[in-house]
C-alpha cells in the first residue's frame, strides 16, 4: 500500500500573503477576548487551542477550514490564549476567507 498524502491549505495561501498579526505578538497582546465576544459568552473559545501545521504553531479557522500559522515566539503557559487572540484578530480584521466568501455569495 502506498503512502497516503493529504493536502492542507493555510490562511496565507488563501489570502496570498501573511498578516502582520501572525508575526508580531504586540498586535494581539492587548485584545480583550471577553470584550470582542458577542453576548460575552466565551464557551466557543474554549474549543480553540494552539495546534501545529507543517511544524509551525497554528490555530484553526473553522470558517475557512484552514490553519492560521503563528510565527512569533509563544511563551510557555500562554499557548491557547495567544492562539485565541490571533484567531480573533483574524476574524475581526475581516481576513477570514470563509467569512469573505459567505458575505459575497450568501443572501
* pLDDT tens-digit map of 55-72: 999 999 888 788 999 999
Is 43 part of a structural domain of the chain? yes
For residue 7, report the phi and psi dihedrals to the nearest 5 degrees.
-115, 125
Tally of domains within the chain: 1
- How does the average pLDDT of the chain come out, rounded? 82
Query: Is 68 part of any domain?
Result: yes
pTM: 0.80
Q: How far apart are CA 98 and CA 44, in angstroms?
A: 18
Average pLDDT value for residue range 12-29 = 88
Any domain includes 70: yes
6 lies in a domain? no
Neighbouring CB atoms inside 10 A of 95's CB total: 20
The boundaries of the domain holding residue 23 are 11-102
Asked whether residue 98 is assigned to any structural domain, the reply reads: yes
Q: What percentage of the chain reaches a pLDDT higher than 90? A: 45
Give residue-wise pLDDT tens across range 65-100: 889 999 999 999 999 999 999 999 998 888 775 444
Amino acid at each position: 500500500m502506498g503512502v497516503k498524502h493529504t493536502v492542507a491549505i493555510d490562511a496565507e495561501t488563501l489570502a496570498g500573503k501573511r498578516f502582520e498579526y501572525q508575526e508580531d505578538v504586540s498586535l494581539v497582546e492587548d485584545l480583550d477576548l471577553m470584550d470582542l465576544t458577542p453576548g460575552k459568552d466565551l464557551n466557543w473559545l474554549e474549543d480553540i487551542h494552539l495546534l501545529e501545521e507543517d511544524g509551525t504553531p497554528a490555530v484553526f479557522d473553522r470558517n475557512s477550514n484552514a490553519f492560521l500559522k503563528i510565527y512569533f515566539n509563544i511563551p510557555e503557559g500562554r499557548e491557547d490564549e495567544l492562539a485565541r487572540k490571533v484567531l480573533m484578530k483574524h476574524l475581526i480584521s475581516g481576513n477570514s476567507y470563509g467569512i469573505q466568501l459567505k458575505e459575497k455569495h450568501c443572501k
